[in-house]
Amino acid sequence: MGSSDRLFNRQRTVHQILGGGLVADVMLWRRKNLTVGILVVTLAAWLVFEKSGYTLLSLVSSVLLLLLTILFLWAKSAAILNRPAPPLPDLHLSEEAVNEIAAFIRDHVNALLSISKDIALGKDTRMFLKVAAHLWLIFVVGGFTDFLTLGYTSLVLLLTVPVLYEKHEDRVDTWILVACRKARQLYLRFDVEILGRIKKWILEKQKLS
């Protein structure tokens, strides 16, 4: 299949489009153990939140309380029994890491604020339509499901759709291109037969008036 038969005439592989790194390997199941592990952990977390009634804040606080209690009792008993203290890593956040995180957040927040300003001032109609469409889609989807279920479903789609597309991309590309050509033909026919008649009718009304 030539490049002209690909969607958007692309020449790169799916793995390259996804970045070609660890994320691409996980999404395309090149590292099956890691991908399966992510799915299992997220499924377990979803079941915990959905079935147990825990919220994220209550679960995190409960886990931290349990961990701190175990470490505290371990340290106290170790001191009494003359045993070694619990092996804790050197918990330290370097200044470089903080600066990198802060710079990353600042760049993305500034980009978001710039886009928001352009939309609010009416400078970018296309971006406004994109943002409005995405927000409307989130509103519609949010009416059918909750955030946790939506997040887990989105993760499952991210870990299944790309790998399925990569395996059957020739068939999928051919089918989508054929569907797009047919849709274009239908639109041209609609434009000529329906919209053309409407324009003609409007022009006739203008002449009579």
Residues 113 and 146 in one domain: yes
Does residue 27 fall inside a structural domain?
Answer: no
pLDDT digits (tens, 9 = 90+) for 34-54: 888 988 888 888 887 777 777
DSSP assignment of 23-78: HHHHHTTSSHHHHHHHHHHHHHHHHHHHHH---HHHHHHHHHHHHHHHHHHHHHHH
Q: Does residue 183 register a pLDDT over 70?
A: yes
pLDDT at 110 (0 to 100): 93
Same domain, 155 and 176: no
95 within domain boundaries: no
Give the model's pLDDT for residue 83. Answer: 83
Range of the domain at 143: 104-167
Contact 7, 173 (CB under 8 A): yes
Tell me if 38 is assigned to some domain. Answer: no
Residue 59 has pLDDT above 80, yes or no: no
Q: Is residue 112 a part of any domain in this protein?
A: yes
Rounded to two decimals, the pTM is 0.51
Cβ count within 10 A of residue 162: 20
